[in-house]
DNA sequence: CGGTATCCCACGCGATACTG
DNA sequence: CAGTATCGCGTGGGATACCG
């Protein structure tokens, strides 16, 4: 059985397998959190989104949102008001990744349990997740 | 509804949500491919593994394998022979991530289709994956 | 309020050489 | 064959300042 490992090019992106492609689109430090929060709240303004993500800078949030929009995972609606108002929400494509996040979330929980259980017992681990 | 975003520490690793934890353990450029190939072949020697992954350097492969081993996703068996022989295989924990890869693989395929379908039609896209 | 524009750093990843 | 040891770069991510 021969395994190919060609590099594919699509729309200015290059990747060697679909896992890698998926990571490029929804991976990284912030994108999963953005998508998950949008899924929970349906619609969020820029400021509200920022408030749910302590630690992110405006520049970073804008950048991630632009990329997600370019990949059509989210839609952006700007109202011509003063002060400005911009609302973000998931597209259908964006909603379709949520099950993957949940699967990874669950796996991470199990992994944490198994690691914690292996460390010297007696310590108690609080479970506080960033997106629940 | 208040959302916390505390940073958790576990076993020398820090993360803010389980998605992030999962990515730290099985993410990156090479780990998914290593795990997927081990899943397909059950047992692989260092050299055989390297052969299935064009482009990876020895140093990188060793590093990734050590990390996966430390996280108990793979097991390493070294035989005291000359020349040396080392065999890698998935642990039960390692096997438990495979469904996630498959889900991401499937999502990546659908995403590629939707992007390709959106570009000027007439071009033909060959589908060659690194891990199948 | 919802952004850009600059500047900058850490680190994931790689190239190369050497070894039991 | 299956590894270390060194060196080094590109880029994902961050700090800060300014704008319509």
What average pLDDT score do residues B75-99 get? 96
Given a cut of 70, whether residue A122 has pLDDT beyond it is no
In this predicted structure, the answer to whether residue A113 has a pLDDT above a threshold of 50 is yes
Contact between the CB of A80 and strand C at under 7 Å: no
- pTM for the model stands at 0.88
- In this prediction, residues A57-85 reach a mean pLDDT of 96
* CB B29 within 8 Å of CB B55: no
CATH code for the structural domain at B12-94: 1.10.10.10
| Domain limits, chain B | 12-94
pLDDT surpasses 60 at A123 = no
Residue A89 phi, psi dihedral angles, 5° rounding: -150, 165
Instruction: Give the SS3 label for residue A4.
Output: coil
Average pLDDT of every residue of chain B: 88
pLDDT above 60 (res A65): yes
Choose the closest CB to B6 out of A6, A93, A128: A128
Q: Which of A15, A52, A28 is nearest to A132 (CA)?
A: A52
pLDDT digits (tens, 9 = 90+) for A12-61: 899 988 999 999 999 999 999 999 999 999 999 999 999 999 999 999 99
**Which among B50, B58, B28, B63 has a CA at the least distance from the CA of A23?**
B28
B49 inside 8 A of chain A by CB: no
Cα separation, B7 vs A93, whole angstroms: 29
- Using a CB-CB cut-off of 8 Å, the residues of chain A touching B103 are 99-100, 103
């Amino acid at each position: 059985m021969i395994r190919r490992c060609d590099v594919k090019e699509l729309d200015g992106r290059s990747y060697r397998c679909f896992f890698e492609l998926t990571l490029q689109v929804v991976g990284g430090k912030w994108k999963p959190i953005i998508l998950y929060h949008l899924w929970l709240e349906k619609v969020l303004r820029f400021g509200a989104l920022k408030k749910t993500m302590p630690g992110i800078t405006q520049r970073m949030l804008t950048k991630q949102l632009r990329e997600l929009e370019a990949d059509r995972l989210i839609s952006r609606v700007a109202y011509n008001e003063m002060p400005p108002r911009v609302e973000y929400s998931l597209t259908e494509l964006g909603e379709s990744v949520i099950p993957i996040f949940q699967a990874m979330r669950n796996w991470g929980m199990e992994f944490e349990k198994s690691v914690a259980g292996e460390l010297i017992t007696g310590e108690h681990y609080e479970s506080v997740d960033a997106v629940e």
